Amino acid sequence: MKKLQEQAIEVLNNNWTGSFSIPCANLYPFQWFWDSGLIAIGFAHFDMPKAEKEIETLLDAQWENGFIPHIIFHTENDSYFPGASFHRSDLHPLASKKYKSTGMTQPPVTGFVLEEMYKISNQKEASLKYIASVIDKVYFNHEYFYKNRDPQNEGLVYIYHNWESGTDNSPIWDDIWETMNPPEYTFERRDTTHVDAAQRPSKREYDHYLHIIEIAKEHNYSDEKIAELSPFLVQDPLFNAMLIKSNESLITLYKLIGGNIDKIEQLKKWQEKSKESFNNKLFDDELGAYIHYDLRNEKPLRYLSSSSFSPLFANIPTKEKADKMIKVMIEKFGGEHQYLCASFDPTSALFNPKKYWRGPVWINLNWMLFNGLNNYGYTDIAERVKQDTISLIKNNGFYEYFDSRKEMHTNGKAGYGGNNFSWSAALLIDLLE
């Protein structure tokens, strides 16, 4: 049998289209924002030109206002719903004229991805030259967020759709669905033709997803109107942690490049304010970790999920807060029958270890937690996250998500969603280095 690394490389090469990667054949046949970034980290270990091209293609789809869309529809393909003709990015006056896309975004990983690529590179000079040629686009993207997605000027940006979070059907959003009553739309799902419906969101959940987009489309994806009217408006700790981590990387990279004093100053200002608000507003002392905040209904969404621990990756908590978080992670997510780290609180009645973001383990979150835990010196638990990640993939294959219950892992059938999934392969390569 081939070594795990070789298998991972094969998955990535098979999902490479020539100028970007798809996350998974049939299920996700286009380019996705945060997938692209995480995939580039994997490629950087064995094929730097592909890693660079991946990011270049993503940034080529940037809008004139700095926005980067969550899906770029490079080709026609009806194996995914909703596609380009539903999303209609052309409604926005500043949308890319070259590529059709969605009118929503995803966690901004590109900044820290560039730094990871630089660290991995064994040709630092060439790598820095490449980074210098693309970094301003990433800066422009961050500027877009702070200018357009922070209506109360807190240093925390909002997401207006659950698909922007990347954690699509988390039970956290259930509270928001209760505030809405969307029409019963008629449409043909494609995801459930590729994956068992028990592992995917429900039809009613999709009605909510589509409805938020319909509202945004009625206003041509205007940020002002979305901030005013979208029934979904959330400050997400994972999303904001990605932005903060990426800010930090941009500072490091601009310093290496030289010059760019104004940008470095601005990035530092964003950092200071964002980290302060993040800790004041999103840390829940009683729960002992970070939570989401519903900006539309002005209320905290008091649930624990793997996103609650992601700020470790961006050096946001103090050591004291981090200690609390580790305790909660071990007590609630780290029982002896659980693989780390379930995407939702295994002690909650809403936990569902088979259903997408309602409980299964995801490799991208594990990769972030592994790195975050190590940064803070929690090396034992970091090692556990790493070994769990390797076991999950070794025992089941390169799936999209995995059952977090150890007892389910007896027959190699506890991997769910899409198989040969790109970021599971990419981040495993990085973990094994």
Residue from 32, 63, 73, 206 binding ligand 9WN (CB under 6 A):
32
Q: How far apart are CA 114 and CA 129, in angstroms?
A: 12
Q: How far apart are CA 393 and CA 407, in angstroms?
A: 16
Residue from 16, 146, 158, 163 binding ligand 9WN (CB under 6 A):
163
Reply yes or no on whether 400 is catalytic. yes
Quote the distance between the C-alpha of residue 311 and its chain's center: 13
Q: How far apart are CA 213 and CA 183, in angstroms?
A: 13
Binding segment (CB under 6 A) for ligand 9WN, from list 54-62, 127-135, 163-171, 387-395: 163-171
Q: Does 270 bind ligand 9WN (CB under 6 A)?
A: no
Looking only at Cα atoms, what is the longest distance across the chain?
57
Binding segment (CB under 6 A) for ligand 9WN, from list 26-34, 86-94, 221-229, 389-397: 26-34
Q: Does 168 bind ligand 9WN (CB under 6 A)?
A: yes
Asked whether the beta carbons of 206 and 396 are under 8 A apart, the reply is no
Binding segment (CB under 6 A) for ligand 9WN, from list 1-9, 29-37, 235-243, 337-345: 29-37
The DSSP code for 232 is -
Q: How far apart are CA 84 and CA 74, in angstroms?
A: 10
Asked whether the beta carbons of 111 and 142 are under 8 A apart, the reply is yes
Q: From residue 108 to residue 147, what is the string marking binding to ligand 9WN with x (rule CB under 6 A)?
A: ----------------------------------------
The contacts of residue 397 (CB under 8 Å, 6+ apart) are 412, 415, 419, 420
Q: Does 42 bind ligand 9WN (CB under 6 A)?
A: no
Q: How many CB atoms lie within 10 A of CB 206?
A: 20
Asked whether the beta carbons of 141 and 34 are under 8 A apart, the reply is no
Quote the distance between the C-alpha of residue 426 and its chain's center: 14
Reply yes or no on whether 184 is catalytic. no
Binding segment (CB under 6 A) for ligand 9WN, from list 160-168, 263-271, 336-344, 371-379: 160-168
User: Minimum CB separation from ligand 9WN for residue 106, in Å?
Assistant: 6
Q: Does 35 bind ligand 9WN (CB under 6 A)?
A: yes
User: Minimum CB separation from ligand 9WN for residue 71, in Å?
Assistant: 7
Residue from 34, 339, 344, 399 binding ligand 9WN (CB under 6 A):
34
- What b/e readout covers 380-389, taking b as 16+ CB neighbours within 10 angstroms? ebbebbbebb
Q: How many CB atoms lie within 10 A of CB 198?
A: 11
Side chain identity at 274, as an amino acid letter?
Answer: S
Binding segment (CB under 6 A) for ligand 9WN, from list 5-13, 122-130, 161-169, 223-231: 161-169
Residue from 11, 12, 20, 28 binding ligand 9WN (CB under 6 A):
28
User: Minimum CB separation from ligand 9WN for residue 212, in Å?
Assistant: 13
φ, ψ (nearest 5 deg) of residue 76: -80, 135
Q: Which of residues 177-236 bind ligand 9WN (CB under 6 A)?
A: 191
Q: Which of residues 373-432 bind ligand 9WN (CB under 6 A)?
A: none
User: Annotated active-site positions, please?
Assistant: 168, 400
Residues found near ligand 9WN in the complex (CB under 6 A): 23, 28, 32, 34-35, 70, 163, 166, 168, 191
